[in-house]
Chains A and B, each alone.
Chain A
Amino acid sequence: MTTNLIDLQHSDVIMITSNMAENHPVGFQWVMKAKERGAKVIHVDPRYTRTSAAADIHMPLRSGTNIAFFGGLMNYAMQKNLYFKEYVVHYTNASFLLDPAFKNATDLNGLFTGYDGSKKSYDRSSWKYQLDGEGNPRRDLTLRDPLTVFQHLRRQYSRYTPAMVERVCGIPKAKFEEVAQLYCGTSGPEKTGTITYALNLTQHTNGVENIRALCMLQLLLGNIGRPGGGVTALRGHANVQGATDLELLYHELPGYLPMPLRDAHPDLKTYLEKETPKGGFWVNRPKFMVSLLKAFYDDAATKDNDFGYQWIPKRASADAYSHQHMFVDMYNGIIKGFLADGQNPAVGGPNAKLARAAMQRLDWLVVVDIFLTETAEVWQEPGVNPKDVKTEVFFIPAAPAAEKDGSLTNTMRLIQWHEKAVDPPGDVQTDAQFFCTLAHRLQKMYAGSTKERDKGFRAANFTYGAKPDHPEMVEVLKEINGVATEDISDKDGKVLYRKGQPINSFAQLTDDGKTTSGCWIYTGVTVESPDGKLINKAASRKPAEGTDYLAHGWGFAWPANRRILYNRASADLTGKPWSEKKKLIWWDPSAPGAKPEDKPGKWVGLDVPDFNAFLAPDAKNGDKPFIMRADLVGGFFGPLNDGPFPEHYEPVESPTKNLLSRQQINPVAKIWKVPDQKNELAPVGSKDYPYVITTYRLTEHHLSGVMSRYLPMLAELHHSHFAEISHELAKELGIQNGEKVTVVSPRGKVHVTAMVTNRIKPFTIDGKTVHLIGVPWHWGWKGVEQLPGSKGDITNDLSSTVGDPNVFIQETKAFVCNVKKGVV
């Protein structure tokens, strides 16, 4: 999230689009605190959940119509002049003029300029600004020129009227207008609002555009970078932010550096040229990339060998290697071996039946986990004859969090150190021990290799501390932070760092091999005291005090302990806060400069400036808060694979045709063809699968159930695997509360207990009744023996293998199903 959970208390209106009370109960205390201060809470969710119970207004919307909703809000804000004009003019690209060849989706009935139907992709050459003689974007600060981004935005969302929102989302017009008036009322200097989201926006074939739409709305209302504002992205796991930062992902390297492509980036120079923008803080990408390579390969990485660039794997294609790609390749026999560390794809991944069938075709499977999961015993899938499964399966018992030291990075980018309570039993290893041991054994195996490509791996260091297979986690954190590889002095000869000392700030990383950094955004988390002791800032625990309500002394937030990103935007062009009530940082012209001889002036306030602290508001770029973007301003126009503006498309499986354009689904969505009918999809408005289904999580269980269904105290909290069904649908189907029912999709079926409830209501979509059911996905065939309800069918057997075109995330929040009475 761009902001900080503690800061939510300062919102005037909080729009929760996720299920925050159930899935982020501890963070939710800050929503409660906001309510104490008079904030209004709106919950936008197809289901009435425990979040709705705490909200002032619950507004159900049909799963898969988020862009129609956000577009509707943007249209409303622009129509009613409820947007923060000064902020929009100066801090965003609203005033930039676009290439006249570019046409938006209103002009082109659902598409943008440059669509190639045969390739299913866009030629984006017209998606650009007009430039002046110096190569800067041309602007119209009055926002009136029809070619401004702003006017394009207006036209793009002109179709998204309240009447249209009613037809598409199923939100009655009056209710939508009530909520729109309330939320768009947070525009302007005196008020701010924040919007939360989680998988409700991400798990769609237009997942990334969903999030873009939210961000654009917040820019329009002038909420980004201000107290009580921002984009509250709620990560779904205690350390998933850490996993993302350190890039346990296929498409990036640690610190959000692009993973090189074999053909486009044959060498380091080409990679850096192509991937380093001309403006914004990412101009420093070479420093981060070289420092990362040095962290990987230490002394073996030198200027002469491109710092070992040739040793890191390159992607053969941008359209490959994601989770879904991997399982399709596995099913097709391309992937022969698989290591699943703390992951249970037999239950947790989309199209779980395909995932299990794929794993049953592997030559070998290694599962590292705390219990014998469904994946660990994939050959025992109910209905499968174990004799048919030739996979050799290895199970490595792992240590859970209580038995491991290390850091956890939570949803507000806060790195907190975590100490183990006990040692793992017997010869159970922590993940770090496992990987270091594995690496050391592999290095031994490859010790005699003369191949160039093995040099890097052989040179890499996997020893942290005195014992090679027992890494000291603070040393790992220090490597992530980064150190000097040799003595570094400034231009006057003063020694800044001695060899081996941790670097204090990513601003001091270099591209000449003198620094390392395993993840540049973490630089500063470990520093050295004047007497040579390593200080682990992630372990600091100074609570909030006085004006430091953001608690800068508790843990370390990346980057550089900034708690609220883009906080320059909390002040106006002169450096004064937009309002006294919403002050965060401001320019103090009398504060001493960086060095004694510098002109005075500094950004000061309640947070570390997410900005050059000494750049005056009236200096060049002193008025540009969005430092990570090349043009330094917030992006209404921001090219993604599926369009520079979010456009509503129906989910791949939908009960209705698209009412906003003739383009039914995302024109560049990824839809995999899988043999043996393992990825059948229902046609639009299918009578065999007439109901919308959404899948979700509960407070009491965790993900695929490995950390909850084996523990009696948690497993007993829900009687059994259930589906939430409206009274109306239950009546139609003759189903009673507590009966067993069968939920069917084109991929599979599950047997669950029907929970008939007032909290689910049918939608009216374009005048027709559309039923929606909800099914949590925590259950699998393993659990507690004495609690039959801890075991159940796998909800993800129902979902399909389709993906967002930017990151290939699955569409598990909105697809279709049928419901049959009884166990069918």
Chain B
Amino acid sequence: MARTLAMFTDTSLCIGCRACQVACKQWNELGLETPEWTGTYQNHAHFTEKTFRLVRFIEAPGAKPNGDLAWLLMSDVCKHCAQAGCLDACPTGAIYRTEHGTVNINQDVCNGCRYCVASCPFGVVSFNEQTGTAKKCTFCNDRIHNGLGPACAKACPTDSIQFGFRDDLVAKANKRVETLKGMGFKDAQLYGADSGGFLGGLNAFFLLLARPATYNLPEHPKLPQRNVVVDSLLSIGSAILVGVGAMLAFRARGKGGE
């Protein structure tokens, strides 16, 4: 098993230029897409079947160290979770984990059931009507298997998106958080760096300058499938109850009828 690869997106270095967004589209030949009005520079509210890297623009009054307005800029992407909801859900096995730890959707196997779309705690996976399959960031699967890093990391002019081995990046990220805290960014924190944390850690993890909720990220993401266990038990339990009831009813009828 090769060492796990990761992308570390340090939002403290992001200038919101969208080079990552465009590089991803260009490399993956994602084609023409109509933008949405979000009220900000952000051109889609969420990931789409043709937008795998999405820069988010969040105005956060008071969030700068000196109390001024902050404009939080975050290049969001598929998290390539160690415990991936999409991978767990996929009934065809189209979604698999590569030897590098990244999560990819095999476009030749996927039959477009969209179960993965509902199973991602971050809403990353999207359905492409034209291909009939589910789509998301591939971690530039072709590039990483040819000695290159992801297109977004390559394009980023400030090295906000860094690519490398996960353990190296986590060590760097931890140091960076300390530096930022020293500069007055008291809410600076990593999101998904801890492999003992939620979802077993994210292979595309982030440095945020405010709490995850400010970025519309779930504070404690978990696999939506976890809800299924409880609900399934309830359903099965109900079925058993109804079944027992029916049994008794039919038996009573039978007895009563004689």
Contacts of B71 on A, CB cut-off 8 Å? Answer: 48, 50, 52-53, 759
Contact with A along B29-60 (1 / 0, CB 8 A): 00111111111110100000000000000010
Chain A-chain B contacts (Cβ-Cβ < 8 Å), number: 97
CB atoms of A756 and B43 under 8 A apart:
no
Q: Taking the nearest CB of chain B, how far is it from the CB of A471, in angstroms?
A: 32
Q: A718-B43, A753-B37 are in contact. Are A25 and B19 (CB under 8 A)?
A: yes
CB atoms of B73 and A50 under 8 A apart:
yes
CB atoms of A712 and B18 under 8 A apart:
no
Q: Taking the nearest CB of chain A, how far is it from the CB of B234, in angstroms?
A: 43
Q: Taking the nearest CB of chain A, how far is it from the CB of B86, in angstroms?
A: 26
Q: Of B15, B25, B26, B32, which one neighbours A28 at CB under 8 angstroms?
A: B15
Flag the segment in B62-70, B115-123, B137-145, B213-221 that touches A.
Answer: B62-70
CB atoms of B15 and A738 under 8 A apart:
no
CB atoms of A699 and B17 under 8 A apart:
yes
CB atoms of A713 and B25 under 8 A apart:
yes
Q: Taking the nearest CB of chain B, how far is it from the CB of A472, in angstroms?
A: 32
Known pairs A720-B37, A787-B34; list 6 more (Cβ under 8 Å). A21-B17, A32-B13, A712-B32, A713-B22, A719-B36, A789-B35
Q: Among residues 669 to 723 in chain A, which have CB atoms less than 8 Å away from a CB atom of chain B? A: 698-700, 712-714, 716-720
Residue B158 interfacial (CB < 8 Å): yes
CB atoms of B40 and A53 under 8 A apart:
no
Q: Of A22, A712, A756, which one neighbours B33 at CB under 8 angstroms?
A: A712
- The B contact surface, by secondary structure, is loop
Among all A-B residue pairs, the 3 with the closest Cβ atoms: A53-B71, A21-B15, A712-B32
Contacts of A58 on B, CB cut-off 8 Å? Answer: 68-69
CA of A243 to CA of B21, assembled, Å: 31
CB nearest neighbor in A for B68: A58
Contacts of B39 on A, CB cut-off 8 Å? Answer: 737-738, 755-756
CB atoms of A717 and B18 under 8 A apart:
yes
CB atoms of B69 and A759 under 8 A apart:
yes
Q: Among residues 60 to 112 in chain A, which have CB atoms less than 8 Å away from a CB atom of chain B? A: none
CB nearest neighbor in B for A38: B183
CB atoms of B22 and A56 under 8 A apart:
no
Q: Taking the nearest CB of chain A, how far is it from the CB of B51, in angstroms?
A: 9
Q: Taking the nearest CB of chain A, how far is it from the CB of B42, in angstroms?
A: 9
Q: Taking the nearest CB of chain A, how far is it from the CB of B33, in angstroms?
A: 6
Q: Among residues 720 to 763 in chain A, which have CB atoms less than 8 Å away from a CB atom of chain B? A: 720, 737-738, 753, 755-759
Q: Of A52, A717, A720, A755, which one neighbours B40 at CB under 8 angstroms?
A: A755
Contacts of A718 on B, CB cut-off 8 Å? Answer: 35, 41, 43
Residue A26 interfacial (CB < 8 Å): yes
CB atoms of B157 and A53 under 8 A apart:
no
CB atoms of B43 and A717 under 8 A apart:
yes
CA of A759 to CA of B16, assembled, Å: 15
Contacts of A737 on B, CB cut-off 8 Å? Answer: 39
Q: Taking the nearest CB of chain A, how far is it from the CB of B74, in angstroms?
A: 11
CB atoms of A22 and B37 under 8 A apart:
no
CB nearest neighbor in A for B41: A718
CB nearest neighbor in B for A753: B37
CB atoms of B25 and A53 under 8 A apart:
no
Residue B159 interfacial (CB < 8 Å): yes
Residue A57 interfacial (CB < 8 Å): yes
CA of A758 to CA of B41, assembled, Å: 13
Q: Taking the nearest CB of chain B, how far is it from the CB of A544, in angstroms?
A: 16
Contacts of A28 on B, CB cut-off 8 Å? Answer: 15, 157-158
CB atoms of A54 and B32 under 8 A apart:
no
Q: Taking the nearest CB of chain A, how far is it from the CB of B46, in angstroms?
A: 15
20 residue pairs A–B, Cβ–Cβ below 8 Å? A21-B17, A25-B17, A29-B158, A32-B158, A48-B69, A48-B71, A50-B16, A50-B17, A51-B15, A53-B72, A56-B65, A56-B66, A58-B68, A699-B18, A712-B31, A718-B41, A719-B35, A719-B43, A720-B37, A757-B40
CB atoms of A786 and B32 under 8 A apart:
yes
CA of A716 to CA of B19, assembled, Å: 13
Residue B61 interfacial (CB < 8 Å): yes
Contacts of B16 on A, CB cut-off 8 Å? Answer: 21, 50, 53, 699
Q: Of A26, A48, A57, A716, which one neighbours B32 at CB under 8 angstroms?
A: A716
Contacts of A22 on B, CB cut-off 8 Å? Answer: 15, 17
CB nearest neighbor in B for A787: B34
Residue A640 interfacial (CB < 8 Å): no
CB atoms of B70 and A53 under 8 A apart:
yes
CA of A459 to CA of B22, assembled, Å: 49
CB nearest neighbor in A for B31: A712
CB atoms of A717 and B37 under 8 A apart:
no
Q: A58-B68, A700-B18, A738-B37 are in contact. Are A787 and B158 (CB under 8 A)?
A: no
Contacts of A32 on B, CB cut-off 8 Å? Answer: 13, 158
Residue A784 interfacial (CB < 8 Å): yes
CA of A699 to CA of B13, assembled, Å: 16
CA of A713 to CA of B43, assembled, Å: 11
Q: Taking the nearest CB of chain B, how far is it from the CB of A708, in angstroms?
A: 11
Q: Among residues 112 to 132 in chain A, which have CB atoms less than 8 Å away from a CB atom of chain B? A: none
Q: Taking the nearest CB of chain A, how far is it from the CB of B73, in angstroms?
A: 6
Contact with B along A768-797 (1 / 0, CB 8 A): 000000000000000010110100000000
Q: Of A25, A48, A714, A719, which one neighbours B15 at CB under 8 angstroms?
A: A25
Q: Taking the nearest CB of chain B, how far is it from the CB of A50, in angstroms?
A: 5
Contacts of A719 on B, CB cut-off 8 Å? Answer: 35-38, 43
Q: Taking the nearest CB of chain A, how far is it from the CB of B38, in angstroms?
A: 8
Contacts of A738 on B, CB cut-off 8 Å? Answer: 37, 39
Contacts of B19 on A, CB cut-off 8 Å? Answer: 25
Q: Taking the nearest CB of chain B, how far is it from the CB of A741, in angstroms?
A: 14
Contacts of A56 on B, CB cut-off 8 Å? Answer: 65-66
CA of A618 to CA of B135, assembled, Å: 71
CA of A698 to CA of B18, assembled, Å: 11
CA of A758 to CA of B63, assembled, Å: 13
Q: A52-B71, A719-B36, A789-B35 are in contact. Are A713 and B15 (CB under 8 A)?
A: no
Contacts of A700 on B, CB cut-off 8 Å? Answer: 17-18
Contacts of B18 on A, CB cut-off 8 Å? Answer: 699-700, 717
CB atoms of A786 and B34 under 8 A apart:
yes
CA of A554 to CA of B146, assembled, Å: 29
CA of A717 to CA of B34, assembled, Å: 9
Contacts of B40 on A, CB cut-off 8 Å? Answer: 755, 757
Contacts of B15 on A, CB cut-off 8 Å? Answer: 21-22, 25, 28, 50-51, 53-54
Contact with B along A27-47 (1 / 0, CB 8 A): 011001000000000000000
CB nearest neighbor in A for B16: A50
CA of A699 to CA of B157, assembled, Å: 12
Which of A51, A700, A787 gathers most chain B CB within 10 Å?
A700
CB nearest neighbor in A for B73: A53
CA of A331 to CA of B120, assembled, Å: 61
Which of B21, B26, B34, B65 gathers most chain A CB within 10 Å?
B34
CA of A737 to CA of B38, assembled, Å: 9
Contacts of A714 on B, CB cut-off 8 Å? Answer: 22
CB atoms of A784 and B37 under 8 A apart:
no
Q: Taking the nearest CB of chain B, how far is it from the CB of A806, in angstroms?
A: 33
CA of A51 to CA of B70, assembled, Å: 11
CA of A25 to CA of B18, assembled, Å: 10
CA of A29 to CA of B19, assembled, Å: 14
Contacts of B26 on A, CB cut-off 8 Å? Answer: 713
CA of A22 to CA of B14, assembled, Å: 11
CA of A758 to CA of B25, assembled, Å: 30
Contact with A along B189-227 (1 / 0, CB 8 A): 000000000000000000000000000000000000000
Q: Of A52, A53, A716, which one neighbours B35 at CB under 8 angstroms?
A: A716
Contacts of B21 on A, CB cut-off 8 Å? Answer: 717
Contacts of B70 on A, CB cut-off 8 Å? Answer: 53
Q: Taking the nearest CB of chain A, how far is it from the CB of B28, in angstroms?
A: 11
Q: A713-B25, A717-B22, A757-B59 are in contact. Are A29 and B35 (CB under 8 A)?
A: no
Contacts of A57 on B, CB cut-off 8 Å? Answer: 66, 68
CB nearest neighbor in B for A57: B66
Q: Taking the nearest CB of chain A, how far is it from the CB of B59, in angstroms?
A: 5
CB nearest neighbor in A for B30: A713
CB nearest neighbor in B for A720: B37
